[in-house]
Amino acid sequence: MDDLIKKTAKKLVLAKNVAALTGAGISVESNIPPFRGPGGIWEKIDPMQYAHIDAFIKDPVKVWDVLLKNMKEIIDLAKPNDAHLGLARLEKLGILKTIITQNVDQLHQKAGNTDVIEFHGNFAWQRCMKCNNRFETRKVDLTKLPPQCECGEIYRPECVFFGEMIPPDDIERSEQVALECDIMLVIGTSAVVQPAAHIPVLAKRSGATIIEINPERTPLTKNISDWIIIGQAGRIMNNIIAELEAFL
**Residues forming the site for ligand APR (CB under 6 A):** 23-26, 28-29, 34-37, 40, 102, 120, 188-190, 193, 213-216, 218, 232-233
Residue 12: half-sphere exposure toward Cβ, Cα within 13 Å: 31
Q: Closest separation between CB of residue 234 and ligand APR, Å?
A: 7
Cβ atoms of residues 242 and 10 within 8 Å: no
* Nearest-CB residue for ligand APR: 25
Q: Which is nearer to ligand APR, 29 or 175 (CB)?
A: 29
Residue 108 a catalytic site member: no
* Opening angle at CA 96, ends 228 and 94, nearest 5: 140
Q: Which is nearer to ligand APR, 15 or 185 (CB)?
A: 185
Distance, CA of 37 to chain centre: 16
For every residue of 171-224, DSSP letters joined together read HHHHHHHHHH-SEEEEES----STTGGGHHHHHHHTT-EEEEEESS--TTTTTT
Q: At what angle do helices 82-92 and 233-247 cross, to 10 degrees?
A: 30
Q: Closest separation between CB of residue 148 and ligand APR, Å?
A: 26
Catalytic residue among 84, 108, 120, 198: 120
Q: Which is nearer to ligand APR, 195 or 247 (CB)?
A: 195
Q: Which is nearer to ligand APR, 37 or 167 (CB)?
A: 37
Q: Closest separation between CB of residue 35 and ligand APR, Å?
A: 4
Q: Closest separation between CB of residue 87 and ligand APR, Å?
A: 12
| Residue numbers annotated as active site | 120
